[in-house]
Structure 1
């Protein structure tokens, strides 16, 4: 089992087991990604942030960048770079990671 930061539980890439996010950075489990259920995280690690693009999502318009596992290159979700809707500003700088792409480890 992979552990980091004082043996805190974490989420890792389902493809290569690279640590991606700490359980303590999980903000919500009530999101939808490109392929289904997704989680909102305040921070992510061991990722590569792709190029910025504007997207129209369910809750409004955003500037986002896809995020990839730095080890195997698997697309994991996206990072909110800029949020245009005032009610959605809390998402700015946060990460959507699809549940199908990660595994929880203890």
Structure 2
């Protein structure tokens, strides 16, 4: 496999809830109004310590997008997805950005997010960006 290099982030950090690997900084949040199958999710300008999976077309609430799942490098858990291509002009701002699902991460204060009663079943995408 090879040696695993992990970037240590400083500041208010979101990390993998399974292995505590640093994933993103609070100041890189673009939107907190995204949803996924398991509830809320956050859109980030930058994420660290992830690998990007295969690209695929997905029909989401805001249209058709080409996305790729992202995986924690520490434990291999799927932590969200990355927008590669947005077909709709008003969705282009998402390209190159990543979404982390709240129930798969720990917050900057160390809190874990759990699947709640507000769980949404459907396509993953923003409600009101």
Task: With the length of structure 2 as denominator, give the TM-score of the two structures.
Answer: 0.76
Matched ranges for 1:67-86 at <5 A: 67-86=70-89
Residues 33 and 77 in structure 1, CA contact (< 8 A), matched pair in contact too? no
Paired residues in the alignment total 102
Structure 1: runs of 5+ lacking an equivalent:
none
Corresponding residue number in structure 1 for 2:37: 34
Larger-Rg structure: 2
Residues 31 and 44 in structure 2, CA contact (< 8 A), matched pair in contact too? yes
Determine whether 1:93 maps to 2:75.
no
Structure 2: runs of 5+ lacking an equivalent:
1-7, 110-129
* Root-mean-square deviation (Å): 1.1
* Higher share in strand: 1
The DSSP-based 3-state class of the residue aligned with 1:62 is strand
